[in-house]
A = this chain, B = another copy of it.
Amino acid sequence: MAEGVQRRRVETGERYDVFHTDCLARDMVDHVTSRWGVWVLISLQRNDLRFYELRESIQGISEKMLAQTLRVLVEDGLVWRKVEPTTPPQVTYGLTEFGRDVGEPLTELFDRITRRLSALGTA
């Protein structure tokens, strides 16, 4: 990925480096907090899952977006992918160590929100 990016960060020495558009972490955070990335990471936090299991647990996601989201997360090193060369092939996804590290605060975030919402006594 774009070399020299971090170098520029260091040179500027600003307080909020991550808020700069040319920040690697910013791209990563964008992937993690993407529309579907959030739910994939939270789902996988509980168990490794097959493609169709993910598709079924995350309501509203299309196969296209699921595949695309998974590809990005695998590229980023957050998710691993294992293919059993049976027919039909069975593909399983799970979190890498980094993925679990990142998924944890995400799950926490989600838990706090649901807790707050139920505390509000919404029917």
Q: Taking the full assembly, how many copies of this chain does it contain?
A: 2
For the complex, would chain A's binding face be called helix, strand, loop or mixed by DSSP majority?
helix
Q: How large is the interface on A (under 10, 10 to 19, 20 to 34, 35 or more residues)?
A: 35 or more
Can you report 26 A-B residue pairs in the complex whose CB atoms are below 8 A from each other?
Answer: A7-B123, A10-B123, A16-B57, A18-B39, A18-B42, A18-B110, A19-B39, A19-B59, A19-B60, A20-B59, A21-B59, A24-B122, A25-B113, A25-B114, A29-B109, A29-B110, A29-B113, A32-B109, A33-B34, A33-B38, A98-B116, A102-B109, A102-B113, A105-B105, A105-B108, A105-B109
Min CB–CB distance A96 → chain B (angstroms): 11
Collect the chain B residues with CB atoms within 8 Å of residue A71's CB: none
